[in-house]
Structure 1
Amino acid sequence: MRGVILGSGIISGDDGKRYQFHLQDIQNLEGRSERSLEKCEVDFEIDESGEKASAKAIFITKSSANVVDSITNSLNDNSISSIKLKAYIGIIFSALAFIPFLGWFFAIAGVVVYIFALIGISRESGCKSIIFNFIISAVLSFISTIIISFSTVSAVVGALSNADSGIFAGIGFAGIIGFIIAISALYFSYKYYSLLSEATNERLFFYAFIISVIATLTIFIPLLGILLTIISYIVQIVAWVKFKEIRKIN
Structure 2
Amino acid sequence: MQGKILSPQLISGDDGKRYEYDKNDVINLGGKDLALLTGSQVEFLSFDKRVAKSIYIINENVNVSSILSADSIRSARLKALWGIGLLFFNFILYIGLLFVNFIQDIWQNIGHIIIIVSFVLYSMAIYSVSKAAASKSLFINYIISVIISFLGIFLFFMLAPSGASGVSVVFSLGTMIALILAIYLYKIHDELAGLSGSSLFLWAFWIFVVSVPFCFLFIMFLGFVFFFFIPGFGGLIMAWVLLFIAWWRFGKVEKR
Fold shared per TM-score above 0.5: yes
Find 1:106's aligned residue among 87, 100, 114.
Answer: 114
Q: Runs of 5+ in structure 2 lacking a partner?
A: 95-106, 218-226
Per mean C-alpha deviation after superposition, the further-off stretch among 8-17 and 120-129 is 8-17
C-alpha distance in 2 between matches for 1:11 and 1:151: 57
Which one has the largest radius of gyration?
1
Counterpart code for 2:177: I
Is the counterpart of residue 86 in structure 1 residue 79 in structure 2? yes
Paired-residue identity, %:
29
Q: Is the 8 A contact 2:88 2:240 kept in 1?
A: no
Q: Distance in 2 between matches of 1:54 and 1:107?
A: 46
Aligned 1:63-82 pairs, distance under 5 A = 70-82=63-75
Contact 2:39–2:61, Cα closer than 8 Å, also in 1: yes
Asked whether the equivalents of residues 74 and 251 of structure 2 are also in contact (C-alpha less than 8 Å), the reply is no
Q: Which runs of 5+ in 1 are unaligned?
A: 159-166
Give, in angstroms, the shift of residue 173 of structure 1. 1.6
Structure 1 residue 106: Cα displacement: 0.7
The correspondence of residues 65-214 of structure 1 with structure 2, limited to 5 A, is 70-97=63-90, 98=94, 99-145=107-153, 147-148=155-156, 167-214=163-210
Give the Cα–Cα distance (whole angstroms) in 2 for the partners of residues 80 and 235 of structure 1: 18
**CA distance in structure 2 between the partners assigned to 1:125 and 1:180 by the alignment:** 32
Distance in 1 between the 2:177 and 2:4 partners?
Answer: 52
Taking structure 1 as the reference length, the TM-score comes to 0.78
Match of 1:240 among 236, 244, 247: 247
Q: Deviations over 1:168-219 (max 9, x none)?
A: 3223222222222111111111111111111111111011111111113444
Structure 1 vs Structure 2 CA RMSD: 2.8
Distance 1:17 1:95 in 2: 47
> What secondary structure, in the 3-state scheme, does the structure 2 residue paired with 1:244 have?
coil
Question: Counterpart of 1:5 in 2: which secondary structure?
Answer: strand
Supply the AA of the counterpart residue of 1:20.
Answer: E
Task: Report the residue type matching 1:228 in the other structure.
Answer: G
* CA spacing shift, 1:15–1:175, aligned 2, 3 Å: same
What code does the residue aligned with 1:132 have?
I
What is the match of residue 53 of structure 2?
Answer: 56
Structure 2 length-normalised TM: 0.76
